[in-house]
Structure 1
């Protein structure tokens, strides 16, 4: 028992790093966001939206997946999605680093709990189960909500386009699709208010597909 608790304490201490591992997202008060803050709000979103999903879902499994999926960034660091969007080599390196991290987490625990965390992390990555699809969708949607709340000066050019590129994450569920539309509307309002031609921006996305 004591040895198992010591191993759990080690993983909890690892999780502390997520409190100061920063994402490429800024808060409405001008402070940069930590990974831990992002993960917490994805969990909140899961709890709030779960009753509205089209299929019955294993809420415990969903929340575990959300909590675990970013834990690897305590070792591998956070790599923004736009950095890997058109960079296959960096995308592969990111994947390798994260796999090594989840293997170390599994081996540190060295028991059924470690294997469960390992399996849930890969379930999230493979996006094949209903729970993993929901977790992935909420992860992407929360990031866009945070961008919408941040000052536009914190955005880079690619993020203008990425505001309207979330369809593939939500197409499996009508509630998430509608939720995505509301988030896109907020982004469109923000960009339009700043004098950015959103129609032209969306056309650019369509022609690049």
Structure 2
């Protein structure tokens, strides 16, 4: 198979992200796709990059574009499914690693290796770009929850409003953004009669 056919196969595979639904709902009551989440994360990266020192914006946006690509094969697993379940987390990681290898092997070697390495870097969350991408991932998810009707939230998502700090505390601008997102989530819960204090220190 020549390179252009391999590239076309990967493009067709990526359509799955348009059809793979997340446990997030839009403000109009429609369920969100993985592709929509990824798009807004990339847009957020473009907007915040000027305020983050020493960030490689091209690498950051590439990493975001492919960070959930494995879900085209493995499907989406909501974060709360693995929050307190070690076995479920290990299983998810294994499924996604195998999917990443499949995607790598679908593509021409050089492109496949770049995508695979970017995905691994995101998963390890050790480099600066990976940390920023991870922070934007968590922030975008909460922003989307804040925009949705609170009837779509599970109780564990009340708790997750207060779990963003560890993902953003390395950067002051992202921390300020987190404070706004957290405040909006908290206000949404209070308006719905939820006792927020019991969820703050879980």
Normalised-by-shorter TM-score class: over 0.9
Q: Distance in 1 between matches of 2:100 and 2:36?
A: 20
Displaced runs of 4 or more, over 6 A: none
Correspondence 1:46 to 2:64:
no
Q: Which residue of 1 aligns with 2:15?
A: 16
The 5 A counterparts of 1:148-159 are: 148-159=146-157
Q: Which residue of 2 aligns with 1:97?
A: 95
Q: Which residue of 1 aligns with 2:78?
A: 80
**Count of aligned pairs:** 202
Structure 1 range deviating more: 11-20 or 105-114:
105-114
Q: Distance in 2 between matches of 1:39 and 1:194?
A: 29
Q: Distance in 2 between matches of 1:104 and 1:110?
A: 12
The 5 A counterparts of 1:188-207 are: 188-202=186-200, 205=201
Q: Which residue of 2 aligns with 1:27?
A: 26
Q: Which residue of 2 aligns with 1:144?
A: 142
1:46-100 per-position Cα deviation (integer Å, ceiling 9, x unaligned) = 00011011x2211110011001110000100000000001111111111011000
TM-score (structure 1 length as normaliser): 0.94
Q: Which residue of 2 aligns with 1:161?
A: 159
TM-score (structure 2 length as normaliser): 0.98
**3-state secondary structure, aligned to 1:29:** coil
**3-state secondary structure, aligned to 1:25:** strand
In the TM superposition, what is the alpha-carbon distance from 1:112 to its structure 2 partner? 0.9
In the TM superposition, what is the alpha-carbon distance from 1:188 to its structure 2 partner? 1.0
In the TM superposition, what is the alpha-carbon distance from 1:108 to its structure 2 partner? 1.2
Q: Which residue of 1 aligns with 2:112?
A: 114
**3-state secondary structure, aligned to 1:23:** strand
Correspondence 1:177 to 2:172:
no
1:170-192 per-position Cα deviation (integer Å, ceiling 9, x unaligned) = 01000000000000010011011
In the TM superposition, what is the alpha-carbon distance from 1:201 to its structure 2 partner? 2.6
5+ residue gaps, structure 2 = none
5+ residue gaps, structure 1 = none
User: Are the equivalent residues in 1 in contact too, given 2:162–2:199 (CA < 8 A)?
Assistant: no
